[in-house]
A and B are shown apart, each in its own frame.
Chain A
Amino acid sequence: MTAMLELRGLTKRFGGLTATDNVSLSVAAGSLHALIGPNGAGKTTLIKQVAGDLRQDTGRIQLGGTEIGDLPAWERVRRGLARTFQITQLLPQYTALDNVALAVQVRQGHSFRFFADARRNPDAREQAGQYLQDVGLASRASSLVSEIGHGECKQLELAIALATRPSLLLLDEPMAGLSPLESQEMIDLLARLKGSVTIVLVEHDMDAVFALADRISVLVYGRVVATGDSDEIRANEEVRVAYLGGGDD
């Protein structure tokens, strides 16, 4: 199986602090690869480097075989990389449908049109509606982002990411702040997505991780201390110590 995402020797230092320490990772196409680790392990820093928000000091990032480490964030999106944000980043003055439709419009190109009304773009609107349906947000299509709840914002982030038709999806703590019911819905949603798109999932919610992940990497102080499937990781001594301090959860 070819690797959709390949990280080799990724390193990032902030002054004296090594936030990412020679990280190498390989994510197989169509799989769901989870990234876990205690707080401060550098998971978000790693995601930012992959997405292009932060420039790595050394190391290579390859998406589907192509080197993307030097490309700006928006260019990586064009190559098939999409992400959701831990703290949702939406367009607050627009409706949920607008948010997704804009992503569709951008993907389709032709955004340098000055005369046709953007909202009279039936193809984009229809696709957007479909994506909202897929994430379970169809009922909120015409609500303003400022009016929808936190969990719905997370779903909307996912819909927007899907609208870019990515080959790789980076999810930064999609469960954060969700109620148990919402979490279960999100887990079901991600389970449905598995296979059609490669997913890298950064999460604290262990139920979600063990339910969904094909492979798990554990990050501690910027280093990958273990990579394996859920059983291997559950059994790994180093991981237990790092997370649980030797005791039980």
Chain B
Amino acid sequence: MTSDSLETRIAKRMSSILTPRSGTMLVGGAMLAALPALVAAFNVPSVVGLATQILIYAIAAMSLNLVLGYGGMITFGHAAFFGLGGYTVGILYQHSADSSAFLGLIAGTDSLVVAVAAAMLVGAIGAAVIGGLSLRTSGVPFIMITLAFAQMVFFLFVSLKAYGGDDGLMMRRRDVLPFFNARDDTNYYYLCLGAAACWFALTACIVRSRFGFVLAGLRQNERRMAAVGVAPYRYRLAAFIIAGAGAGLAGALMANYLRFVSPDMMHWTKSGELMMMVILGGASTLIGPLLGAAVMVLLETLLAAQTENWQFYLGCILLAIVMLTRKGLAALFSRLPGIRS
């Protein structure tokens, strides 16, 4: 390396950072950051709300992607952790609003930081329990079991009348962040943008790390990995737990955005929607879940505006996509000129 001159080394470093892919991402990131300003300029305020939802679902989809795309584990129960995160925020808020305590022990809070951290913790613990049991199997039984556990969580919360039951739980105000007015929708958008960017960076790190190396190996060929001495269970469980925390984060942000949580957040059809986002966007790519979330949210919004029976058309579209394509949007994206995955 000492044979390269300083200029050459700088040039090499620059060209390795400013690849076409990172350039696109920079432009995309800049556009996302400028969105509220653009929206105000063109006077279409509902777009900010839509974009906020997209970012929140993107976090949930990215967390599912770690398990599904990179880990190769087909779980149909991811919405359980999304819902657990949301309910953690809702329950803590309710207890802080009426100054009571959860189970008589844990005081409520309306601090955003505490609530979100708690939501991520609850998501992680839920994933540890459900994953701990489910990962004793694989393949089709695994799919069935994760689905069943998610539905179990759904029924559990439907039966909790104290926290709204079937009707759900409302929050009068969003949680509070010092020096930051979270009640303003534009501010909240930036908060979610920041959270999504952080989770994206974290996922990118994990995927390239030694842990990610093993995880991807397990996805590609479990027999081979066993033959080099890898015990599959612990790696998969770790990925599952991290994903659970991510879904909990998304749930917490959604609860604050809507100021409402309901058991529908953890219904198995929500899991199906998250899976659709991951698949549409392209599993086992980093940007795929974001694209998938955008497409799904926009599609659902557009369809729902046209007809009450939008699920019918959504189903048709999904079926067509599954039967006709194999890789999802990100694969298309990576075929644009100058971009290699």
Direct contact between the two chains A and B in their complex (CB within 8 A):
yes
B103 at the interface (CB under 8 A from A): no
- How distant is the Cα of A107 from the Cα of B208 in the complex, in angstroms? 19
Interface 9-mer from B11-19, B178-186, B214-222, B265-273: B214-222
Chain B residues with CB below 8 A from A103, complex form: 228
For chain B, the bracket of interface size reads 20 to 34
Chain A residues with CB below 8 A from B214, complex form: 102, 105-106, 111
A246 at the interface (CB under 8 A from B): no
Contact: A117 with B224, CB < 8 Å?
no
| A/B pair count, beta carbons within 8 Å | 97
- How distant is the Cα of A119 from the Cα of B238 in the complex, in angstroms? 21
B226 at the interface (CB under 8 A from A): yes
Chain A residues with CB below 8 A from B6, complex form: none
Contact: A112 with B208, CB < 8 Å?
no
- How distant is the Cα of A45 from the Cα of B17 in the complex, in angstroms? 51
- Given A116-B209, A119-B208: A164 and B229 interface contact (C-beta under 8 Å): yes
Contact: B205 with A114, CB < 8 Å?
yes
Considering the complex, which residues of chain A in the window 103-130 have a beta carbon less than 8 Å from any beta carbon of chain B?
A: 103, 105-107, 110-119, 121
Contact: B210 with A110, CB < 8 Å?
yes
The smallest beta-carbon distance between A141 and chain B, in angstroms, is 17
Chain A residues with CB below 8 A from B209, complex form: 113-118
Q: Which of A77, A91, A107 contacts B217 (CB 8 A)?
A: A91
Chain B residues with CB below 8 A from A92, complex form: 220-221
Chain A residues with CB below 8 A from B227, complex form: 51, 73-74, 77, 82-83, 85, 89, 160-161
Contact: B228 with A106, CB < 8 Å?
yes
Contact: A77 with B229, CB < 8 Å?
yes
- Given A105-B213, A115-B205, A116-B210: A90 and B229 interface contact (C-beta under 8 Å): no
Chain B residues with CB below 8 A from A74, complex form: 225-227, 229-232
A94 at the interface (CB under 8 A from B): yes
B206 at the interface (CB under 8 A from A): yes
Considering the complex, which residues of chain B in the window 7-30 have a beta carbon less than 8 Å from any beta carbon of chain A?
A: none
A78 at the interface (CB under 8 A from B): yes
Chain B residues with CB below 8 A from A112, complex form: 210-211, 238
Q: Which of A73, A90, A114, A119 contacts B206 (CB 8 A)?
A: A114
Contact: B223 with A85, CB < 8 Å?
yes
- Given A90-B221, A92-B221, A102-B213: A164 and B208 interface contact (C-beta under 8 Å): no
The smallest beta-carbon distance between B296 and chain A, in angstroms, is 27
Chain B residues with CB below 8 A from A105, complex form: 210, 213-214
Contact: B221 with A106, CB < 8 Å?
no
Chain A residues with CB below 8 A from B224, complex form: 85, 89-91, 160
- Given A89-B221, A89-B223: A102 and B228 interface contact (C-beta under 8 Å): yes
A93 at the interface (CB under 8 A from B): yes
Residue from the set B208, B213, B221, B231 with the largest chain A CB neighbour count within 10 Å: B213
- How distant is the Cα of A107 from the Cα of B228 in the complex, in angstroms? 8
B281 at the interface (CB under 8 A from A): no
Chain A residues with CB below 8 A from B288, complex form: none
- How distant is the Cα of A95 from the Cα of B212 in the complex, in angstroms? 16
Contact: B210 with A113, CB < 8 Å?
yes
The smallest beta-carbon distance between B172 and chain A, in angstroms, is 38
The smallest beta-carbon distance between B245 and chain A, in angstroms, is 13
- Given A89-B221, A90-B221, A115-B205: A77 and B211 interface contact (C-beta under 8 Å): no
Chain B residues with CB below 8 A from A51, complex form: 227
Contact: B210 with A111, CB < 8 Å?
yes
Contact: A164 with B205, CB < 8 Å?
no
Chain B residues with CB below 8 A from A119, complex form: 208
Chain B residues with CB below 8 A from A89, complex form: 221, 223-224, 227
A145 nearest in chain B by CB position: B220
Contact: A106 with B230, CB < 8 Å?
yes
- How distant is the Cα of A77 from the Cα of B238 in the complex, in angstroms? 22
7 contacts between A and B (CB under 8 A): A75-B231, A91-B217, A94-B216, A111-B210, A113-B211, A118-B210, A118-B212
Contact residues of A with B, CB < 8 Å?
A: 51, 53, 72-75, 77-78, 82-83, 85, 89-94, 98, 102-103, 105-107, 110-119, 121, 160-161, 163-164
| Closest CB pairs A-B (n = 3) | A77-B229, A118-B213, A103-B228
Contact residues of B with A, CB < 8 Å?
A: 205-206, 208-214, 216-217, 220-221, 223-232, 235, 238
